[in-house]
Structures are given as C-alpha cells and as structure tokens.
Amino acid sequence: MGLRGGDAVMLSGRRYISISVVFFFTLLIFTSFAYSLPRVAVMDFESIGVDEYLGVAAAELVRTQLIKTGSCSVVERGLLKKVMAEQRIALSGAVDEATAVKVGKLVGANLVVIGSVSRLGEKIILNARIVDVQTGVAKAGETFTGESEDDLKSMCMKLVERVSEILSSLTYPSSHAVHPPSPPRKREAPSLLSSHSSRVERNPAISYALSLGIKKDIAKLLKGLGEDGRLDRYERLFIKWLSYNDPSIQSKYAVRYSLEGRITAKDLRRLPDAVLLYESFSDNRNGWEIGKFESATISIENGRLYFYIEGSWEYWTTIELPKLKRVKRYIVEVTVSRKEGSQVYGYYGIVFKGKDADNCYIFWEGDDSYWAVERFINSKSKLIVKWQKGPQILGALRVLVNGNRYKFYLLSGDEVRYVGEVKDSEVKNGGIIGVAASGPAKIRFDDFRVIIPKDEILR
C-alpha cells in the first residue's frame, strides 16, 4: 500500500462489519459443588525431538480448555508437581499408565491424560492416552498430526473434545461433593422454588454476587463466604474482583476461597489482574461477525479468527463488554500473524474504546512496521497518529487505555516494545472492542484478551 513516513494514505474505500452485542459467557454447569464434577489430571507431555517447552505448553493449553468446557474440574499443575515430587516422579517426561493411575489416585482424579509432542519429518505429532484411574485401563489412545508447530493449538483442542466425549459417556459417584445431597422432600414445586429463593436471598455472598452480574451457578459456589450471615469489606472486594473475570477464572477462585470461608487482606494482595475476556476462538459463542462479504471472507477456524481481504478495504468486527464502561484503565491484547504461506502484506489492528461501530479508535500496525491510530466519529475517519515507522517486530498488539490517554505496544515472546502514545477524548467509552484488518491481506488473530488491573477494581 506504500505507506511511508508520516503521510496519511486515503484508501479507495472502506467497509466495516460490527456486531454490538452485550457480551455473555457460556457458564460452567455445576451440581451441589464444583468437585461433584469428574476430576481430570493432565500430566505435562513428553517432548521428543522438539523444544522442551512445547510439551509443557500443550498440556497447559489442554488444562485451560478443559476448564472452559465445564465438563470437569481440572487438577492444577502446582498440585501435580507437589505430589509427583513427593513420589519422586518427574513432572515432565515419559509417564506410563501405572504411574498415571498412582498419581491420579493421590490427587483424586477420575481420568489422567498422558502423552507426548514429537516431530516426524516436518510434521508435528501429538500422541495422548486417556486413562481411567478406577480401572487402570486406557479409555482411548489418540494421535493428532499437524503441518507445523502452529497447528499444535488446534490439535490440543481436538484432544479436549475427545476427553469431553469420554467424560460424557461415563458416570461417576458424587463422592467428591463437599456437601452430600439432602434427602428428597415431598413438596409441591411452587413451595420448593419459594424455599430455594429465600435461601439464596438469606446468603449475603450469593445475593451480592448476583447483584454484580455473576450467574447463579457460579454465585452459589460462594455460599461458604456468607454462611455467617454477613460480608466484610475484604469479602465484598473479592466478589467485586471476581465479577470482572472470565467464568472459567470465576469458578476456580470461587471454589478456592469459599472453601476457606473467609477472605483476608493477604488474599486480596495475592489476586492477579482480572481477565475480563480470554477469547481463544475455539468457537463463536461470543458473536463475532463472520462470513463472506463483498471484498472479504472472515472465518473462525482451528482456534483462530481469519481475515481474507481483496483490495484496499478496511474490515472490523467488535463485541461489547459493558463492564469496560465502569473502569478507567484496561488492556487489550491480541496475537496476530499472516496466514501460512501468504506473502501478502497487510495491516491489522485493535479496535478499542468504542461507543458503537461508527465511533471508535483503531491501533493499526503493518508487516512493514509502519503504524498509526485512526479515530472514527459518526463514521468519519481521521488519523490522530499519522503513519510512521515503528519497531520491526511481529507477534502481538497491545493497547493500554488510561482514561483519555492510550499507549501502544508490540510483543514477541517475552519482548515488549513501546511504540507510542496519544491523548484524545473525542470518543466516549462505550465498551466496544474488536479486531480490524486492511487489505489486501490474509491475516489471522488468536488469543484475544482484555485485562483489568486489580487495583482498578479493589478500591
């Protein structure tokens, strides 16, 4: 496109797509308590002929995605590490089925997933076995093949789907439930519903969580905090922080702290920044606009969001996170790359602080390392930062919003490069965020994240 120096280039046309929907989360469905779900342990995968970190990274991705399915509870890697150290078993490396069963029993797991990541020629192979701890028998052995390491994420997704299928076919006793189910009572349905409603209202932790938008299935996990009939300041701040997190994170922390029955100042200091959204693009539950358009195709495939654009057009797709309207500071990040084998140079960006599809900002970056910031007011475009040379780095984009001041970064692995910043107050924050691409381009996005600093919430 010939973008050079600080000159703004007028594109031959512009089309955008946007969906401004109130963002909703797919909830994890629990029974009387989270641990009544079947419990799965995923051992670090052995790395054979590949970098050591690949086996660890693949196993961690499987754990995270299993949590998101809501079909099971997942043993934390830290607990596995502790138990295996006590048993003098290496966390990473080859693990046979007998060892998997032994570790599974120690951590209270129903299934254990073991496996390896290896290379065969140019291809990447993920081998996995899913072992039933009770019987000691491998329920399934799976092999997934990819063209390169870039395919490892989609291979892990397929393994998660297979584990979920096995879980759905098995029946486990509710021995893991913290509170045994109450004996059946003979009551008419209206009376039962009325009684349940009054119990929820009497528990201040559940009531406060519901008032902050935490869904009932997760709010009920907090009942241990409200059993004394009151909430102190620390407990209220914890529930407030919880409401700003993705549901998979909500369930994890709700279970952990409700079991202890109280929140301390030390607990609050240990909390990480809130992850309001982690979009892995494993599906389109969040309502991104995809499909074939006049000059572009936008699709979700293999855990990525793809833009294929012909000609000099801009396309973007957005979602709305209402909680962003309540905070001054937040971070938006997305990993970006060209499609495999593509030599087409294009421009890609993050849509942020949008009021609606016609009123927003876009941080643009290109393969040629030029960057700019574009502002839209009632669909009229203006470059508030003109195209200029930036760091030569391709990996991920980051925007740090702090009121009316915006800072921009490029990331590659552990490297974070500051690009620039700008101050502008013309667009009011409406919680609209998204991704954009300018053609001609073949761009893919994945790991879209929205992070809120915890001190923005705990005040």
pLDDT of residue 41 exceeding 70: yes
**Which range, of 64-78, 228-242, 434-448, averages the lowest pLDDT?**
64-78
Average pLDDT of the residues in 115-129: 90
pLDDT score recorded for residue 91: 56
- Cβ neighbors of 155 (< 8 A, separation 6 or more) are 58, 124, 126, 144, 145, 146
Number of structural domains the chain divides into: 3
Q: Are 55 and 125 in contact (CB under 8 A)?
A: no
Together in a domain, 237 and 317: no
Domain assignment of residue 397, yes or no: yes
Domain assignment of residue 28, yes or no: no
Average pLDDT of the residues in 50-63: 87
Of 242, 272, 302, which residue constitutes the final position of a domain?
272
Q: Are 387 and 8 in contact (CB under 8 A)?
A: yes
Average pLDDT of the residues in 218-230: 86
Together in a domain, 290 and 415: yes
First to last CA, the chain: 47
Percent with pLDDT over 70 in the chain: 82
Together in a domain, 312 and 448: yes
Of 153, 169, 185, which residue constitutes the final position of a domain?
169
Together in a domain, 80 and 115: yes
Together in a domain, 206 and 132: no
pLDDT score recorded for residue 176: 33
Residue-range definition of the domain harbouring residue 321? 286-457
pLDDT score recorded for residue 175: 33
pLDDT score recorded for residue 339: 63
- CATH number, domain with residue 437: 2.60.120.560
Average pLDDT of the residues in 158-175: 72
Q: Between 313 and 261, name the one with better pLDDT.
A: 313
Q: Are 445 and 281 in contact (CB under 8 A)?
A: yes
pLDDT of residue 24 exceeding 50: no
Together in a domain, 367 and 401: yes
Together in a domain, 317 and 257: no
Domain assignment of residue 185, yes or no: no
Domain assignment of residue 294, yes or no: yes
pLDDT score recorded for residue 369: 81
Taking the C-alpha atoms of residue 212 and residue 235, their distance in angstroms, rounded to an integer, is 14
Together in a domain, 135 and 204: no
Q: What is the mean pLDDT of the chain?
A: 79
Together in a domain, 295 and 254: no
pLDDT score recorded for residue 178: 32
pLDDT score recorded for residue 180: 35
Percent with pLDDT over 90 in the chain: 36
pLDDT of residue 257 exceeding 60: yes
pLDDT band at 90; cut points 50, 70, 90: low
pLDDT band at 31; cut points 50, 70, 90: very low
pLDDT of residue 330 exceeding 50: yes
- CATH number, domain with residue 74: 3.40.50.10070
pLDDT of residue 45 exceeding 50: yes
pLDDT score recorded for residue 20: 37
Together in a domain, 89 and 160: yes
pLDDT score recorded for residue 4: 21
**Which range, of 73-82, 205-214, 274-283, averages the lowest pLDDT?**
73-82
pLDDT band at 92; cut points 50, 70, 90: low
Domain assignment of residue 278, yes or no: no
Together in a domain, 258 and 298: no
Domain assignment of residue 10, yes or no: no
pLDDT band at 19; cut points 50, 70, 90: very low
Together in a domain, 117 and 74: yes
Q: Are 6 and 388 in contact (CB under 8 A)?
A: yes
Q: What is the largest CA-CA distance in the chain?
A: 78
Cross-strand partners of 389: 370
Q: What is the 3-state secondary structure (H, E, C) of the chain?
A: CCCCCCCCCCCCCCCCCCCCCECCCCCCCCCCCHHHCCEEEECCCEEECCCHHHHHHHHHHHHHHHHHHCCCEECCHHHHHHHHHHCCCCCCCCCCHHHHHHHHHHCCCCEEEEEEEEEECCEEEEEEEEEECCCCCEEEEEEEEECCHHHHHHHHHHHHHHHHHHHHHCCCCCCCCCCCCCCCCCCCHHHHHHHHHHHHHHCHHHHHHHHCCCCHHHHHHHHHHCCCCCCCHHHHHHHHHHHCCCHHHHHHHHHHHHHHCCCCHHHHHHCCCEEEEEECCCCCCCCCCCEECCCEEEEEECCEEEEEECCCCEEEEEEECHHHHHCCEEEEEEEEEECCCCCCCCEEEEEEEEEECCEEEEEEEECCCEEEEEEEECCEEEEEEEEEECCCCCCEEEEEEECCEEEEEEEECCEEEEEEEEECCCCCCCCEEEEEEECCEEEEEEEEEEEECHHHHCC
Domain assignment of residue 264, yes or no: yes
pLDDT score recorded for residue 340: 57
Q: Give the Cβ contact number of residue 187 at 10 Å.
A: 11
pLDDT band at 424; cut points 50, 70, 90: very high
Average pLDDT of the residues in 299-308: 90
**Which range, of 32-41, 200-209, 374-383, averages the lowest pLDDT?**
32-41
Taking the C-alpha atoms of residue 219 and residue 200, their distance in angstroms, rounded to an integer, is 10
Cross-strand partners of 348: 365, 437
Q: Are 176 and 39 in contact (CB under 8 A)?
A: yes
pLDDT of residue 166 exceeding 80: yes
pTM above 0.85, yes or no: no
pLDDT score recorded for residue 73: 83
pLDDT of residue 378 exceeding 80: yes
pLDDT band at 245; cut points 50, 70, 90: very high
